[in-house]
Amino acid sequence: MNSPIKNMKKQKGFTLIEIAIVLVIIGLLVGGVLQGQELIENSRVKQAAKDMNGTAAAMFAYQDRYKRLPGDDGNAAALTARGASWAAVLAGDLDGTLDVDLAGTFVGATESQAFWQQLRAAGFIAGNPAETAQLALPVNAWGGFMGITTAAMGGALEGTKVCLSQVPGSSALALDNELDDGLGATGNLRATLGVSATNTAPTNTALAAVYNEDNVYTVCYRI
């Protein structure tokens, strides 16, 4: 019969080399995951910038074709006469301006709804032109909405602005650096402090502090 002492002598632990190899493998795996997450977030920022610039290009192309602003275009009979894709599209009031206040940015009502419907019906952006209310709003790279407003925001930034809700702080900073000056209170891109999982409407209060990575923001870019 083997003695307990003899059996204990036969057991072996990990060598320092084996432990070092395991630690290296763990480090590589963690580094790969973090790098992958960074690549995903960078791709979202690039997509968001593309979406904002694409909306501007679509709006200008619409004006070139129809000589009217998308969202303001009308009347209903004139729109439906263009073809089947226009059948359920809301008409604007045809007063020469796009009328969307700050509170209506992510609501998808009146000329906000009409803006996205008319761009879709004309084929300038993808999607179903018959969708209404918030369903008419595109979804941005972070799962929030893309909206439009013409009211002054972020410390009196005038003009037509395309806005994104639920943007994480680090991504808001990266997007601002991509399109503007990296500061949410100045330039052509302005930010509003948001609430997590909420499509926070932009305000006309200038952002009081630099971007904080623990926060989420609504960002608006003048197009």
Predicted TM-score of the model (pTM)? 0.84
Write down the pLDDT at residue 3. Answer: 52
Q: Report the percentage of the chain scoring pLDDT > 90.
A: 82
In a domain, 2, yes or no: no
Write down the pLDDT at residue 36. Answer: 66
More reliable by pLDDT, 5 or 141: 141
How does 187-201 read in b/e, with b if 16+ C-beta sit within 10 Å?
A: bebbbbbbeeeebbb
Write down the pLDDT at residue 23. Answer: 75
Query: Which DSSP letter does residue 217 get?
Result: E
Q: How many domains does the chain have?
A: 1
Residue ranges making up the domain that contains 143: 16-222
Q: No. of H helices and E strands in the chain?
A: 5, 4
In a domain, 25, yes or no: yes
In a domain, 4, yes or no: no
Q: What's the whole-number mean pLDDT along residues 94-117?
A: 97
pLDDT at 83 over 90: yes
pLDDT at 116 over 80: yes
- The region, left, alpha or beta by phi > 0 then psi within -120 to 50, assigned to residue 125 is beta
pLDDT for 46-58, tens place per residue? 999 999 999 999 9
Write down the pLDDT at residue 210. Answer: 96
In a domain, 126, yes or no: yes
In a domain, 191, yes or no: yes
In a domain, 129, yes or no: yes
In a domain, 120, yes or no: yes
Is residue 80 a contact partner of residue 117, using CB atoms and an 8 Å limit?
A: no
pLDDT for 176-210, tens place per residue? 999 999 999 999 999 999 999 999 999 999 999 99
In a domain, 102, yes or no: yes
Model confidence at 19, pLDDT cuts 50, 70, 90, reads confident
Q: What's the whole-number mean pLDDT along residues 125-142?
A: 97
Q: What's the whole-number mean pLDDT along residues 13-33?
A: 72
Which domain CATH number covers 218?
Answer: 3.30.1690
